[in-house]
Chains A and B, each alone.
Chain A
Amino acid sequence: MRQGTTVYLYELAWILPSIAIPVGMLAALVVTAFGANIHLPGAAGRVDPTKVTETAPFDALGVKEIAPGQYEVRMLAQVWSFTPNEIRVPAGSTVHFWATSRDVVHGLFIPKANVNVMLLPGQVAHVEARFAKPGEYLMICHEYCGIAHHTMAGKVIVTSEGGSAPHPNLPPQAGAGKAGARSAAISDPRGRELAGLEERK
C-alpha cells in the first residue's frame, strides 16, 4: 500500500492549507471590516411604498446640516433620477443617507466615497459616508431600473469652503434638528409608523 500512503499524505498536505486559507482570509476580513468600522446596511425599517411621499422621513427630501460637519440626506429614487439629484456639502463632512425607492429597485452607488446600497421599495436604506476631499462625486444608479437606466445619475459636490449651500431647486429646510433621537426611532423593522423624524419637519 505504499502508493496509498503517499496519496494519503498528499491529501492531508492539501486538506490542511485548504482549511487554513479560508479561515485566514476570513479572519483578515473580520479584522479589517470591524477594525475600520465598515458597516453594511442593516434593517432600518419599512416604509409603505405607495405612501412614501407622505411618510417621514421622505415627506421632506433634501440636504440638511444636523450638527457641525454632519449632514443628513433624505433621498427618494424613482425612474430615472434621484431626489435630490445634486447634493452640496463642505469637505470633511459626514453624510447620513436615508433613502428608498418609490417605484422599482434602484441602487445608490458613489464609487469614490464607498457608498454602495440597494434602494428597494418598502425598505429604508441607511448608510453613512465621509467626504474628505473637495470635488465632484458621481452618484450612479447601479441596478437595472428600466429603459433609461443609463441616464440615472447625480452628483455630490463637495466644496472646499465651509458652510452648506443646499441645491437651489430644493425647498429650504428649517430647523437644526436633534440628531440623537434619529436612529432609534426609525429602526422599527415591522413597518409601523416611522415617526422618528416627524418632529424635525
Chain B
Amino acid sequence: MSPLGASDSPARAPASPAQASGGRFGRGAEPPSEQRLASAFIAVALVALFGGVVTGALQALEHAGVNLYPWVAPLIKSYYHGLSLHGVLNVLVWTTFFICGFLPFIAARALATPLASPKLGWLTFWLMTAGLVLAAVPLVGNAATVMFTFYPPLRAHWAFYVGLTLVVAGTWLVTLNLALTWRAWRAANPGTRTPLAAFMSVVTFAMWTIASLGLAAEMLFLLIPWSLGWVGGTDALLARVLFWFTGHPIVYFWLLPAYVSWYTLVPRQAGGKLFSDPLARTSFILFLVLSTPLGFHHQYTDPGIHEGWKLVHAFLTFAVFFPSLLTFFNVVASLESGARARGGTGWVAWVRRLPWGDPSVAAQVLAMFLFTFGGVGGLINASYNLNLIVHNTAWIPGHLHLTVGTAVTLSFMGITYWLVPYLRGRALWSRPLALAQVWLWFVGMTIFSHAMHRLGMLGAPRRTMLGAATYVQPGWKLLMSLVGIGGTILFLSSLLYFLNIVLTLVASRGPAPAVPEFAEALSGPEHAPAVLDRWRPWIVLAFVLIAVAYGPTLVRLAATTPLTTPGLRVW
C-alpha cells in the first residue's frame, strides 16, 4: 500500500499484557492497521518534502545569481510557479500529512487503545490524498501559481481550491477519530488522567478544527463559487481576513506536534524526565484558547481594518507568547534533567552531556535551539510598529524557515529517524549519515536564515525573483550569495536525509529499534488541576474570544462588502 508498508516486518505481535497494563508498551503494540495508516500518511508527507526542498534549492540559487529555471522549464515554468509549489508542498502537504500520521499513532499508543475506527482512518487518508491529487493537477500544471496563500483576485483553477478544501475536511475526520478514541478510552478508564501525549494530540486537533473554520468559509463562500464562475466577483480584504483567521493558528497546528515529541518523548530519549506535566497541560490549553483570535497581526498593513482591532490582536499575540515561554522553560528543564542524570554539570555546560550521538535527539535539540531565534523574530513581527520594517520583506521567509522550516521540519525529521525504521521493521540505514544531515541542516539554516533576515532589514521584498529584479541594491549582493550558499547546504542535507530514508526502506538489514517510551514526569499529572481535563469550558472560551476579536470586523465586512472584484491570471 505504501513504501513504508510494514507487512514484511519480523515482529508484529500484539502487546503482551504486561506491556499494555503499564500504559507504555514496546514495539509492535498497536494493531498493524494503525502502523500502516501512519506509514501511508508519512509516505505522502515525505514525497511532498522532496518536492519542497528541490524547489527551495532553485530559489536560493536564483538569489545567488544561478538561474536554473531555464533547465527545469518543462516541469517548472517560472520562479513563481516553483515558489507556489514550494509553499504548498512544504507547509500545506508535508506538515499536514505528517501530523495526520504521527499524532493518531502516538495518541493511540499513549492511550493503549486502538484507534476508534481504522476504517474512518483509511477513508480520511484516501479523502485527503484525493484532495491532494486534485489540487496538485493545476498546481503542477501552472494553473495555480498563486502562492500557498492564494490571495484573490489572483484566480487559480477551481480544482486547486476544491482539492485543498478536501484536505482540510480530511483533517476534521482525524479530529473525529481522535475524539471517538478518547471517548472509548475514557469509558474504560473513568477517573484517570488522560495520558499527556494523547491529551496533547486531542488538543492540537481540536484547536486546528476551530481554527480551520476561517479557511473553510473562505473556500466555500468566496473562492470555490467564484473560480467555478457561479458568482462574478470576490473581495480581496474579506478573503484575507478569513485566510488569516486560519493562517496564524495553522502555525500552531504545525508546531504543537513537534511539542508533543519535545514534551513526551525527547526528555526520556535524553535520559531524563519531563519537568512538569501540569505546566505542559496548561500551555496546551492556552494554545487551544488563544491561537486563533489574533490573525490581524498578519494584516497590520492591510487597509480596511480599524487600527483599534489591530491593537487588540497585538495584545492577544503577546498573550500567546506566555504558553510559548512555559514550553521553553519546561522543555529545557527536562533536557537538563537528562543531561545531569548523564553526569552533566554547570549552568550551560550540561548541554554537552546530552546524547548527541542519537540523531533523533540531536535533530530535535538543534531544532529547539534555532527556534529560540525564531521566537524572538516572531515577537518583532508581532510588534505592531516594528512590523512596518519587516512586513513582506525577505525577513519573513528568513523567520519562517527557523520556525516551520526548522523547529517543525527538523523535529519531524528527528522523529522519522526512529519512526520510519520502526514502521519498516528495520534499523536506520546509517546513524553517522543522519548525524551529518542534522548538523548540515543546522549550519545551512543558520547561514540561510541570517542572510534572509538581513536582506529584509535592507528592504529586499519577499516572494520576488531577486536575481532578476530591476532594483537590487549594492548592499544586497553579498547576502543574496549567502542565501545561495546556505540553501545549497540545506539541499545537500535534504539529499542525505532522503538517501538514508530510502536505504532504510530498501537496503537496511539490522533489527528495528523500539519506539521511544513516554517520559515520566518530575511533577506528574496528579498535580494538574482537574479542570484541565475538561474540554467544553476551554472550547467555549476559545469561541468567545474569537467572537470578541473577530466578530465586529467580520460582521461589518460580510454585511457591507460587494463581491465585485473580477479574477485574473497574471502569470
List chain A positions with a Cβ less than 8 A from chain B: 3-4, 7-8, 10-11, 14-15, 17-19, 21-23, 25-26, 29, 32-33, 36, 38-44, 46, 48-50, 79, 101, 103-105, 107, 109, 111-112, 114, 116-126, 138, 140-147, 149-151, 153, 189-191
Is B42 part of the contact surface with A, judged by Cβ < 8 Å? no
Is B302 part of the contact surface with A, judged by Cβ < 8 Å? yes
CB contacts (< 8 Å) of A126 on chain B: these are 303
Task: Give chain B nearest CB distance to A84 CB in angstroms.
Answer: 17
CB contacts (< 8 Å) of B79 on chain A: these are 150
Closest B residue to A38 by beta carbon equals B385
What's the Cα separation between A142 and B314 when bound, in Å?
Answer: 23
Is B515 part of the contact surface with A, judged by Cβ < 8 Å? no
Task: Give chain A nearest CB distance to B535 CB in angstroms.
Answer: 24
Known contacts A25-B379, A41-B303: does B384 contact A153 (CB below 8 Å)? no
Asked if A18 contacts B301 (CB within 8 A), the reply is no
Which of B46-54, B232-240, B440-448 interfaces with chain A?
B232-240
Asked if B147 contacts A144 (CB within 8 A), the reply is yes
Task: Give chain B nearest CB distance to A77 CB in angstroms.
Answer: 12
Asked if B301 contacts A48 (CB within 8 A), the reply is no
What's the Cα separation between A28 and B71 when bound, in Å?
Answer: 51
Is B275 part of the contact surface with A, judged by Cβ < 8 Å? yes
Asked if A123 contacts B384 (CB within 8 A), the reply is no
Asked if B153 contacts A36 (CB within 8 A), the reply is no
- Which residue in B235, B236, B319, B462 is a CB contact (below 8 Å) of A142? B462
Asked if A138 contacts B471 (CB within 8 A), the reply is yes
Closest A residue to B569 by beta carbon equals A146
Asked if A123 contacts B303 (CB within 8 A), the reply is yes
- Which residue in B236, B322, B470 is a CB contact (below 8 Å) of A120? B236
Is B289 part of the contact surface with A, judged by Cβ < 8 Å? no
Asked if B570 contacts A138 (CB within 8 A), the reply is no
Task: Give chain A nearest CB distance to B259 CB in angstroms.
Answer: 16
Asked if B300 contacts A18 (CB within 8 A), the reply is no
Is B507 part of the contact surface with A, judged by Cβ < 8 Å? no
CB contacts (< 8 Å) of B562 on chain A: these are 48, 191
CB contacts (< 8 Å) of B463 on chain A: these are 142-144, 149
Show 6 A/B contacts (Cβ-Cβ < 8 Å), sorted by A. A14-B329, A15-B326, A48-B562, A48-B564, A50-B564, A189-B560
What's the Cα separation between A14 and B329 when bound, in Å?
Answer: 7
- Which residue in A21, A40, A46, A104 is a CB contact (below 8 Å) of B300? A40
Asked if B523 contacts A7 (CB within 8 A), the reply is yes
Asked if A150 contacts B315 (CB within 8 A), the reply is no
Known contacts A124-B303, A191-B560: does B470 contact A18 (CB below 8 Å)? no
Which residue of A42, A79, A118 has the most chain B CB atoms within 10 A of its CB atom? A118
CB contacts (< 8 Å) of A14 on chain B: these are 325-326, 329
Size class of the B contact interface (CB-based, 8 Å) = 35 or more
List chain B positions with a Cβ less than 8 A from chain A: 78-80, 83, 147, 151, 153-154, 235-237, 240, 275-276, 278-279, 299-307, 310, 314-315, 318-319, 321-322, 325-326, 329, 333, 379, 383-389, 391-393, 458-459, 461-466, 468-471, 473, 522-523, 527, 556, 560-562, 564-566, 568, 570-571
CB contacts (< 8 Å) of B473 on chain A: these are 138
Task: Give chain A nearest CB distance to B88 CB in angstroms.
Answer: 14
What's the Cα separation between A104 and B571 when bound, in Å?
Answer: 12
Asked if A41 contacts B302 (CB within 8 A), the reply is yes
Asked if A21 contacts B321 (CB within 8 A), the reply is yes
Asked if A120 contacts B304 (CB within 8 A), the reply is yes
CB contacts (< 8 Å) of B275 on chain A: these are 7, 10
Task: Give chain A nearest CB distance to B439 CB in angstroms.
Answer: 30
CB contacts (< 8 Å) of A29 on chain B: these are 314, 383-386
CB contacts (< 8 Å) of B322 on chain A: these are 18-19, 22
Asked if B393 contacts A142 (CB within 8 A), the reply is yes
What's the Cα separation between A44 and B303 when bound, in Å?
Answer: 7
What's the Cα separation between A114 and B556 when bound, in Å?
Answer: 30
Closest B residue to A149 by beta carbon equals B464
Closest B residue to A101 by beta carbon equals B236
CB contacts (< 8 Å) of B556 on chain A: these are 189
Closest B residue to A111 by beta carbon equals B459
Asked if A3 contacts B392 (CB within 8 A), the reply is no
CB contacts (< 8 Å) of B570 on chain A: these are 79, 103-104, 145-147
- Which residue in B307, B458, B469 is a CB contact (below 8 Å) of A42? B307
Asked if A49 contacts B388 (CB within 8 A), the reply is no
What's the Cα separation between A15 and B468 when bound, in Å?
Answer: 49
- Which residue in A43, A48, A112, A116 is a CB contact (below 8 Å) of B392? A116
What's the Cα separation between A146 and B81 when bound, in Å?
Answer: 10
Which residue of B310, B329, B388 has the most chain A CB atoms within 10 A of its CB atom? B388
CB contacts (< 8 Å) of A124 on chain B: these are 303
Task: Give chain B nearest CB distance to A41 CB in angstroms.
Answer: 5
Known contacts A22-B319, A48-B564, A147-B78: does B236 contact A123 (CB below 8 Å)? yes
Known contacts A105-B151, A144-B80, A151-B469: does B565 contact A49 (CB below 8 Å)? yes
- Which residue in B154, B303, B389, B464 is a CB contact (below 8 Å) of A114? B389
CB contacts (< 8 Å) of A7 on chain B: these are 275-276, 522-523
Interface pairs A-B: 9 shortest CB-CB:
A111-B459, A146-B570, A142-B461, A18-B325, A125-B303, A7-B523, A144-B463, A150-B469, A120-B236
What's the Cα separation between A151 and B314 when bound, in Å?
Answer: 33
CB contacts (< 8 Å) of B469 on chain A: these are 150-151, 153
Which residue of A10, A21, A46, A120 has the most chain B CB atoms within 10 A of its CB atom? A120
CB contacts (< 8 Å) of B388 on chain A: these are 38, 40, 114, 116
Task: Give chain A nearest CB distance to B499 CB in angstroms.
Answer: 33
What's the Cα separation between A40 and B305 when bound, in Å?
Answer: 10
Known contacts A21-B321, A25-B379: does B236 contact A121 (CB below 8 Å)? yes
